[in-house]
Amino acid sequence: SILIKWNPPEQNSYKLNVDGSCCGNPGKGEIGGIIRKGNGEWVLGYNMGFSHATDIYMETLALLYGLKLAIENNYLPLTIETDCKELINLIHNKNCAFNLIDDCRCLLSRAGDPPLQHVYREANQAADSMAKNGSSLTTFGSLTTYLSPPTFAISILERDKLGTMWRRTIPACNAI
């Protein structure tokens, strides 16, 4: 097993954590994200619910909206983390020509091509909580932004700032 924690961005920079998911695939979907400063301090959060979507569509929209908010508010330089390897692969695969992926690539370029990194779910809990709350909103398809931390995310944010470690069991590979 390994120990995992959320790592703050460098001083004078920002970190965007994004997440999206569905209850069923396809099914009721949600996106969420959070932007924090170098000391782990809350800058901005967002979420949204959808009546019908797929997992990868939600992950992509979470990134798209997070990038738009970061650029509009000049939260740059930026590092981006997601727990969705498939999203990272789609962004980096130049043969993938889906419109939303192209939109994300364009925004990444406008943001100075920030690193897009995979993290385990345990290091992405704040974004996950934002997304999960998105499905409980009554305004489907309308982005909600948070200038201060919502109560449902405060304990996760505090654990992240304290550097709380989470144990993750990694299956051992069978050597032949």
> Which CATH number covers residue 135?
3.30.420.10
Q: What is the DSSP letter of 75?
A: -
In a domain, 172, yes or no: no
In a domain, 175, yes or no: no
In a domain, 174, yes or no: no
Q: What is the pLDDT of the chain when averaged over all its residues?
A: 93
In a domain, 37, yes or no: yes
Give residue 99's domain range.
2-166
> Hey, which residues does 31 pair with through a beta bridge?
20, 48
Number of domains within the chain: 1
In a domain, 70, yes or no: yes
59 pLDDT above the threshold of 60: yes
- Phi, psi values for residue 5, rounded to 5°: -150, 160
Q: Is 107 exposed, middle or buried, given 0-12, 13-18 or 19+ CB atoms closer than 10 A?
A: middle
Higher per-residue pLDDT: 135 or 80: 80
Residues of the chain with pLDDT > 70: what percent? 97
Arithmetic mean of pLDDT, 108-123: 97
Is 112 within 8 Å of 77 (Cβ atoms)? yes
Q: How far apart are CA 8 and CA 37, in angstroms?
A: 8
Q: How far apart are CA 78 and CA 64, in angstroms?
A: 14
Arithmetic mean of pLDDT, 51-71: 96
- Give the model's confidence band at 172: pLDDT under 50 very low, under 70 low, under 90 confident, else very high: low
Q: Is 75 exposed, middle or buried, given 0-12, 13-18 or 19+ CB atoms closer than 10 A?
A: buried
